[in-house]
Structure 1
Amino acid sequence: MRDYLAVFGGAREQVSLAVQRIAAANSEWSPIAADHGWAVLAPKASAMRVRPLPARRGVIIGDLFERGASGPLQGRVSAISTPQASAEVVCQSLCRHYWGRYVAVVRGADDQGVQAFRDPSGMLDCVTWRAGGLAFVASTLPDWLAAAFLPVLAIDYPHVHRMLLDRSAEVGALGLKGVVAVNPGALQAVEAAEAARMIWRPQTFVGVERQQPKAAAQDLRDAVITTVSALTSPHRPILAELSGGLDSAIVMAALREVRSGGLHALNYFFDAGEGDERRYARDVASKLDVPLHEAERPDLVLTRIPDAAVTSVRPSLSALDGLYEQDLIQHARAVGADQIFTGQGGDSVFFRYATPLVLVDELSRIGLGALRPQSLAQTARRNGISVWALLAGALRRGSAPTGMPTLGFAVSDGATAEDHPWTLGLERWPAKRLQIEGLISAQAYFTATHRGAELDLCQPLLAQPVVEAALRLPVSQLTLEGRDRGLARRLFCDQLPGSVIHRRSKGSAASFYARVVTSSLGFLKPHLLDGRLAALGMVDRPRLEAALDPSQMIWTGGQLEILQAAVLEGWLRHWEERVARSPARLADPP
């Protein structure tokens, strides 16, 4: 369980009274740490850690690990060299010497001005607001808070529209006014209306090669192993989702390297051929000598959008399938595990994409050397095109933004898409930009879910050390021998079966989502066609109606996009109702 609520104020008495009122409003929450002018609350069942910064400069909420260490930090945090160090210097030191799943709340050197820093992985969400003369930093915005501690809220309709047009917008700013979301790697002032300062940027690692290729590649493997070791609970069984694909297999191999026992693998399969990867999961489990549990993914018929998907500050597609969530929790409980490891994010970190943009990156990196016949032939073969088509594609797309997929029935708002802070300045590196856009989209894995409230979800491939090691490597090396995730395949080839290392196909859940949509049309049609997104003109109703026609789905697909829109629709309805109940509102709906 990863929720928290931090309260900061000038006087100890003011904070103490606020904490008493907050704890009285919800008996499942209680203070877990407090000091001069601050306190942190969390659910009583939570294992949330709180570490004070030296010189009473603030706190670190969440898990913190020293670089290179194989377990959680045991001693004090030494991120402040002097009591006068600025908040920027403190957070730069945290990024340099530590990593984890944390939010740091830092006071200014003069004991004034609270600032929130979200760690570069973004695994712990962070929103800030001011109310009742206090500063709040939290993972979400609980609806049980007293009105005195709540911000004045309104829906940010233009941003909701952007969320419909671009899924990556869901993991950046919020569709709410009155609260401020902190991006991963950003330092945000809570009291003042100041723009966030980016302390950590992925661009810093692009195009900077300080090691020989072999050493840099070994660093990537070491980062995976060390990160998995640090996250692993030493005394409890561990459950890992083993899809049968490469990324989850690598995480399973890393777990086997750091743990001799207490490991369990779980494979979910669908009845359609492309959704049944049990053969590959069995090969991995046999090679690593890990017991494998197999379960058919329960069929899902939607009659409503689950609360977990809409009640947090961000819509959560990951929480849509309540049957899967409950089944996963039951499997974990059955083996005594409170941690679940996944290979989520590996497609981006290890670079799975087939794209001519790799050639553009190589031209930026080594100049005309990128035009070597052997390199061109490998890249063209990987993309399934001729060398001439590769060159043409690189020239045509080299200066264009790669963009994110949009919903076919969404109405354009006519506005220029806003660049995420992580993608600025990458004009010469479009393939790296594609990788970083994938990392941005992967933030959706950290949104609120029922399973995340009950268990410790671990996504080691998206941890800061692994991401940094992958960003330092040129895409041409990540796609070694012209293969998607070619370097990752070579780094773990000794531990994994050849069926997975040499596999060129990838499993698909498309048929499962198609069944979900077609079996749920009785709910989805009125939910979307007569919903708020349609009423506000954000979706083209005729195109949406066509997308919901089963006879058209066979040819057009798009079922996952329909479900994304359904979750956003539910989220918008929930928050419009909540804003309407608020004592004060910034603005009425348009």
Structure 2
Amino acid sequence: MNTSYRIDLRRGVESSAEAQILGHRPQGIQLEHSPDLNVARAEDGKVLILGDCFPYDGTKSPFSRGSKGAAEHVHDVARNYWGRFVVVAHDPDKRLTAIYRDPSGMIPCYYAVEPERVVVGTSAVEMTKVLASQARIDWMSVADCLMASDLREHRTCIDQIIEVTPGEMVVIDTDGPHHQLYWDPSAFLGRNDEYSFEEAAENLWKVLNQVLAAWCARYPRAAVSASGGFDSSAIAELATRHGTVELLHFYTRSPGGDERAYAEQLANHLDKTVRCECSEADSIDVTENRSGFRPRPSACSFTQVFDDASERFATAIDACAHFNGGGGDNVFGKLHSAYPLAELYRHTGLSRSLVSTAINICDVTGVELWSVFRQAAQAIWNPGRIAASWPRQTELMASSAISMASNESHPWLQSARSAGPGQKQHLRNIARGIATTDYLNIRSTRPTIYPLLSQPVIELCLSIPTWFWFMGGRDRALARTAMQPFLPMPIINRSTKGAFDGLLYQIFALNRDQIFRDLNDGTLVSHKLIDMDQITHLQTQDAISASQRARILQLHETEIWCRNWC
């Protein structure tokens, strides 16, 4: 299994004899980790970095020279490095532990605190093995997860297990844990508002190229999931410049899920071949949830087929890692709202560019011009209505669960209360993208890298005017312009995207009776989280919409996750 670790930190002073008996690292630290995670140590082993650190300034060591306290080392790493990493510093004498998780979120990070220990890790199953208390499901958190599956709150679905959100520092002392957003995304919002569109596109290409160079130096042979879309094509093209790349494409037999023509066009452009795998529902086991060991139900049943084929492919080509274009829509400003028009007005006042930008938004969203101006005007004259909220899905939920839903938002949005509405939407989209990085290739021995969610890319994209993403009536216009010289124009100009609705339909059709039976006899209904009357009504219908099928599958996946812990 990739990207897994558990750190057992003893609190209080222990004798050297006790440490030897317990097999602990010096100063009460015991570490287990998967081979793909590099480990660096400082301060006699009291400071650990797990993962991949890349310096902003070209320095090589992730630790500054000179003797420093453990917490100061954490600050140095968080300030000067990007990548995918978690830093843990432990001072048992002071009963103090500091944890930092980098903003990309590519390495999960959870912790639990007991009087005599702090446990940090990726697997709730492994963490609870060393905890004194028995693991129990937090059913209200399960309900929140069903209503906002892409919102990462501190509370997880397992009591006592707490998440360190991306960019966050947690200090645990004798008074308990204290969370602070060390990497504050609001500091980057609008930082480069004076860029011209051309300058922004040029800088974006430079950052993307530098980021892929760093990832390819660390993982020189990558299996790239090439969907045929813009984002994964950009990853493949940039990675080809710096390392060895092999392409894998998934398709289904339904017309909307067959993108082989685009994937093959990319392969021809890069002078490569692409392995095309047909995804079939009959190889999927709906009674299995591969995220069962995590403190939240994050895995989807339909991705089992992708995971298994990806692992076979990566093994055959001896890949170091999987590279994925996930997060591109989120980072590259696919906003589909008129909020950037409101931000342009605040930046320039009345200007000719307002009309052209409004038309660009119409072209991207398909919304009429008057609707664009109306939404922008509401954002300008009544900005208080544009809250740092999170969309919640209440379909098929029990009314009691809905009434007790958490109103907590993401820490990033809490820090950006004064930001423009388009900036808030962009920030929320990026947070949602990061939340989806922990379910693909869970069982693989190789990590999955999401280069577009790397910290330098996020920081630059947040700093750029939001209206640039609509330029010329194209969504993600800035990214398309940056990559235009390097990709085939049909891929650069793609305005549609393939979907796996046909695969979901097959899964549902093959397992319909099993799914409804599990829900009817399950833990979600027994804890009054879902409305079984509505679900039973759907069961009697011959025609169920695609969104309803997807929702029922999500409920069932969560049901299976819960059964792992009951």
Same fold, judged at TM 0.5 (above): yes
SS in 2 for 1:128: strand
Give the partner amino acid of 1:274. G
SS at match of 2:183: coil
Query: Partner of 2:246 in structure 1?
Result: 264
Which position in structure 2 is the counterpart of 1:506?
497
Q: Map residues 525-544 of structure 1 onto 2, 5 A cutoff.
A: 525-544=516-535
| Paired residues for 1:326-365 under 5 Å | 326-365=308-347
CA contact (8 A) 1:182 1:188 kept: yes
Q: Using the alignment, how far apart are the partners of 2:224 and 2:124 within structure 1? A: 31
| 1:423 corresponds to | 413
Q: CA deviation at 1:183?
A: 0.9
Distance 1:271 1:66, change over 3 A: same
Aligned pair 1:126/2:127, yes or no?
no
Residues of 2 paired with 1:367 and 1:51: CA distance?
A: 51
Matched residue, 2:486:
495
Asked if 1 retains the 8 angstrom alpha-carbon contact of 2:26 and 2:46, the reply is no
- Structure 2 letter corresponding to 1:121: S
Gaps of 5+ in 2: none
Alpha-carbon distance in structure 1 between the residues aligned to 2:230 and 2:121: 35
Contact 1:171 1:443 in 2 (8 A): no
Contact kept? 1:4, 1:139, Cα under 8 Å: yes
Q: Which amino acid aligns with 1:480?
A: M
Aligned counterparts of 1:514 and 1:172: Cα–Cα separation in 2: 34
Please point out which of 48, 61, 76 is paired with 2:37: 48
Instruction: Answer whether contact 2:297 2:561 (CA < 8 A) is retained.
Output: yes
Letter of the aligned partner of 1:222 in structure 2?
Answer: K
Partners of 1:341 and 1:91 in 2: CA distance: 28
Residue matched to 2:239: 255
1:197 maps onto 2:186 in alignment: no
Which residue identity does 2:334 align to in structure 1? R
Q: Does 1:574 align with 2:557?
A: no
Give the aligned partner of residue 53 of structure 2.
Answer: 64
Q: Quick check: 1:288 aligned with 2:270? A: yes
Aligned to 2:396: 409
Instruction: In structure 1, give the amino acid aligned to 2:87.
Output: A
Provide the residue aligned with 2:547 in structure 1: 557
> 1:298: which partner in 2?
280
Answer with 398-407 or 194-203: which moved more: 398-407
2: CA distance, partners of 1:416 / 1:144? 26
Tell me the distance in 1 between the aligned counterparts of 2:31 and 2:352: 53
3-state SS of paired residue (1:570): helix
- Equivalent residues in 2 for 1:51-450, closer than 5 Å: 51-54=40-43, 57-67=46-56, 75-79=60-64, 83-84=68-69, 87=71, 90-107=73-90, 112-131=95-114, 133-143=116-126, 146=129, 149-169=131-151, 172-191=154-173, 192-209=175-192, 212-213=195-196, 214-232=198-216, 237-259=221-243, 262-300=244-282, 303-318=285-300, 321-369=303-351, 372-396=354-378, 399-401=385-387, 403-411=390-398, 412-415=402-405, 417-424=407-414, 425-426=416-417, 428-448=419-439, 450=441
Tell me, in whole angstroms, the C-alpha distance in 1 between the residues paired with 2:325 and 2:156. Answer: 27
**Residue identity matched to 1:423:** L
Cα offset, 1:90, TM superposition: 4.2
CA distance in 1 between counterparts of 2:162 and 2:524 reads: 23
Indicate how the Cα distance of structure 1 residues 547 and 290 shifts in structure 2: closer, same or farther if over 3 A, else same.
Answer: farther
Measured in 2, the distance between the counterparts of 1:17 and 1:318 equals 42
In the alignment, structure 1 segments of 5+ residues that lack a partner are: 21-33, 578-590
**Which amino acid in structure 1 is aligned with residue 397 of structure 2?**
A
* In 2, Cα distance between equivalents of 1:428 and 1:237: 40
Counterparts of 2:132 and 2:348 in 1: how far apart (Å)?
A: 54
- 3-state SS of the aligned residue for 2:98? strand
Taking a change above 3 Å as real, the CA distance of residues 255 and 547 of structure 1, as seen in their structure-2 partners, is farther
* 1:218 to partner: Cα distance: 2.6
- Quote the sequence identity (%): 21
Structure 1 residue 409: deviation in Å? 1.0
Report the alpha carbon displacement of residue 449 of structure 1 after superposing the two structures with TM. Answer: 5.1
Deviation at 1:482, TM superposition (A): 2.8
Per-residue deviation, 1:288: 1.5
Question: How has the CA–CA distance of structure 1 residues 237 and 105 changed in structure 2, closer, same or farther, with 3 Å as cutoff?
Answer: closer
Instruction: Tell me, yes or no, if the aligned pair for 2:195 and 2:464 is still in contact at 8 Å.
Output: no
Residue 24 (structure 1) aligns with: none
How many Å apart are 1:406 and its aligned residue?
0.9
Structure 2 contact 78–100 (Cα < 8 Å) conserved: no
CA drift of 1:153 comes to 3.3
Report the Cα offset of residue 453 of structure 1.
3.5
> Which residue of structure 1 aligns with residue 6 of structure 2?
5
* 3-state SS of paired residue (1:558): helix
For residues 435 and 302 of structure 2, the distance between their equivalents in structure 1, rounded to whole angstroms, comes to 13
**Aligned equivalents of 1:300, 1:408: Cα separation in 2:** 28
For 2:145 and 2:500, the matched residues in 1 are separated by: 23
**Distance apart, 1:134 and its partner CA:** 2.3
Flag the 1:13–1:152 CA change in 2: closer, same or farther, 3 A: farther
Which has the higher mean CA deviation after the structures are superposed, 350-359 or 442-451? 442-451
> What displacement does 1:380 show?
2.6
| Matched residue count | 551
Residues 1:372 and 1:353: Cα distance change in structure 2 (over 3 Å): closer
RMSD across aligned C-alpha pairs, in angstroms?
Answer: 2.8
